[in-house]
């Protein structure tokens, strides 16, 4: 079974998979450029990102874990960020169960601390997954989510006490 983790972003989405049959862990990033402010340009950017995220994946996955946008942050292109997330959720639900987590839950799953910064998340994920290429915080976030999903599927993952507590608080499918 494949566990998928997605840290969606208009500029650089982190994507990670854990194959629970082989133990293989992969990360990648999907980058999309701003095409302008017209509706057609914004739609095109979203469609390009979604295709680049989903096309390499199998038609079925054991579970997808995706980070929701931070509701408190009011950056530009807020509508597009939310659209990207919800269109991905829609498409991922056709491939298997989907779990959505908040940014704080993602940080806790990665490090055991909900207020962990990007550098701490990156260092912790790299330490917990030696031999896996984790180029930046986007890939680290995605791998932390995929690892939690793999654990839910029964794959052994060495959680700290804080991570185990965070895992237990996620609304996993029944």
CA angle 149, 4, 139 (to 5 degrees): 105
Interval 26-64: pLDDT, tens: 999 999 999 999 999 999 999 999 999 999 999 999 999
d(CA 97, CA 65): 9
Q: CATH no. for residue 69?
A: 3.30.420.10
Closest CA to 68 of 97, 96, 89, 42: 89
Helix (H) / strand (E) element for 29: namely strand 25-31
- Structural domain contains residue 174: no
Please give the model's pTM, rounded to 2 decimal places: 0.95
Cα 106 from chain centre: 9
Domain range spanning residue 136?
Answer: 2-169
The total number of structural domains that make up the chain: 1
Calpha distance 42→63 (Å, rounded): 29
Which tens digits make up the pLDDT trace of 84-132?
Answer: 999 999 999 999 999 999 999 999 999 999 899 999 999 999 999 999 9
């Amino acid at each position: 079974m494949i566990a998928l983790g997605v840290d969606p972003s208009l500029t650089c989405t982190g994507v990670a998979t854990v194959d629970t049959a082989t133990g293989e862990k992969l990360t990648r990033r999907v980058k999309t450029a701003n095409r302008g402010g017209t509706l057609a340009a914004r739609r095109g950017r979203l469609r390009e990102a979604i295709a680049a995220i989903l096309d390499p994946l199998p038609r079925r996955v054991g579970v997808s874990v995706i980070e929701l946008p931070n509701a408190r942050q009011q950056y530009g292109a807020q509508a597009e960020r939310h659209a990207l997330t919800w269109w991905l959720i829609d498409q991922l639900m056709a491939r298997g169960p989907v779990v959505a987590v908040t940014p704080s839950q993602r940080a806790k799953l990665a490090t055991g601390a909900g207020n962990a910064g990007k550098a701490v998340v990156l260092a912790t994920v790299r330490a917990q997954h030696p031999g896996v290429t984790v180029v930046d915080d986007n890939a680290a976030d995605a791998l932390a989510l995929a690892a939690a999903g793999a654990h839910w599927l029964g794959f052994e993952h060495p959680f700290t006490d804080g991570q185990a507590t965070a895992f237990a608080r996620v609304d996993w499918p029944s």
